[in-house]
Structure 1
Amino acid sequence: MKTLIQSIRLTLVLLVLLCVFYPLSIAIAGKLSKGQGGGEKITKNGKVMGYALLGQSFTKPEYFWSRPSAVGYSAAGSGGSNKGPSNPDYLQAVQARIDTLLKYNPSLQKSDIPADMVTASGSGLDPDISEQGAIIQIKRIATYRKIDERKIAELVVKHTEQPFLGLFGPKKINVLELNLALDQLK
């Protein structure tokens, strides 16, 4: 009987902790965050253009292109392709991405292409590209927009986020924010 009473007490305590206090603490933390629990929105002229942590597809040659997505940038179906580096379909998709980059960036060599520009992230929703991924696109964008390459390069430098604490992770650039800033260039 003593064990049964202890089990019921433990169940009630865990029920209150896990069904009341934990969800409440998560909701409070969300409300105190940047996006107030609704995601950090990127706006332009009062209109929501996208979310800071959700990638989007950019395919026009006058814009910086995003990292490829195995799920079509759908947050409802986050995930990778689960295809390994020896899978023929995967190799064909990567080669098609390389061919597209080389077609639109004729001065580019295959060895200059960083992996993040031809491989999808694990979530398929990565909003960032590497600094090198942005740099290799500058010449193409400058040509299509008829803007001096230096102006675009300055924009890339300005939007480059440094690694966390200067140590963890690579330098990265949010593609949506960079493309919005690119539209502001005259």
Structure 2
Amino acid sequence: MNHILPSLRLWIATLLICVLAYGAVVLGFAQTVAPFQANGSIIVQDGRPIGSRLIAQNFTQDRYFWPRPSAADYNGMGAMGSNLSPTSDKLKQRAAETVSRYAAAQDDPIPADLVAASGGGLDPHISLAGARYQAGRVAAARGLPVRSVEAVIDRLAFAPGGAFAPDRIVNVLELNMALDKLGR
């Protein structure tokens, strides 16, 4: 029994230091330096949370920009890829349904990110090309000029990697909120 006691003390000390103390230090630092991000980047409107900047939501109305497809059905608790191979009939069917939903045509090809789910299935961003591809539908549904919708897209588009990854993306939730503020 005496040989177990030192091991037990070491286990308890390690648990207290590595789990509780380290966790408290990291949480305290995050809450001090970046509280919005540390709390999930929750967007609040009229005093109630409407979503996170970090997790896609399934917008389906024509007046809204649609996100990328989600293998997790937009459930933040189940972030995952589909693990379906490119030759999978189920994946081909989902892609065909998505292309049909967008009414894509050979002379108006759909950007790949609007057809393919992200690795985690919850990417809240679409490419600038994906946003511009949807601008006409959204503008028509809202009764706005396409130029006005494109101006909002351009204002919100950003390059997450700066000069190292210059392709611009747009957060779908923030884009839809900005258009809702226009009042149509």
TM-score by length of 1: 0.85
Asked if 1 retains the 8 angstrom alpha-carbon contact of 2:159 and 2:165, the reply is: no
Instruction: Note if 1:127 corresponds to 2:128.
Output: no
- How many residue pairs get aligned? The number is 180
The structure-2 alpha-carbon separation of the partners of 1:67 and 1:29, relative to structure 1 and needing over 3 Å to count, comes to farther
Q: What corresponds to 1:146 in structure 2?
A: 143
1:26 maps to a residue whose letter is V
CA contact (8 A) 1:57 1:66 kept: yes
The root-mean-square deviation of aligned C-alpha atoms, in Å, is: 2.5
Question: Corresponding residue for 2:75?
Answer: 74
TM-superposed CA distance for 1:62, in Å, is 1.2
The residue identity in structure 2 corresponding to 1:164 is G
Match of 1:23 in 2: 23
1:137 is paired with a residue whose SS is helix
Alignment-derived partner of residue 167 in structure 1 = 164
Alignment-mate amino acid for residue 127 of structure 2: S
Gapped regions of structure 2 (runs ≥ 5): none
When structure 1 is superposed on structure 2, of 114-123 and 161-170 the one drifting more is 161-170
Match of 2:93 in 1: 92
The TM-score, its normalising length taken from structure 2, stands at 0.85
Residue 124 of structure 1 deviates from its aligned partner by 1.2
Q: CA deviation at 1:128?
A: 0.7
Counterpart of 1:136 in 2: which secondary structure? helix
Partner of 2:152: 155
Distance 1:110 1:163, change over 3 A: farther
Q: Distance in 2 between matches of 1:89 and 1:60?
A: 25
Residues 169 and 71 of structure 1, relative CA distance in 2, 3 Å threshold: farther
TM-superposed deviation, 1:13: 5.9
C-alpha distance 110-67 of structure 1, shift in aligned 2 (>3 A): farther
Query: For residue 114 of structure 2, what is the aligned residue in structure 1?
Result: 117
Cα distance in 2 for partners of 1:110, 1:26 equals: 52
Q: Deviations over 1:73-123 (max 9, x none)?
A: 111111011101011111111111011111xx6xx5466311110111111
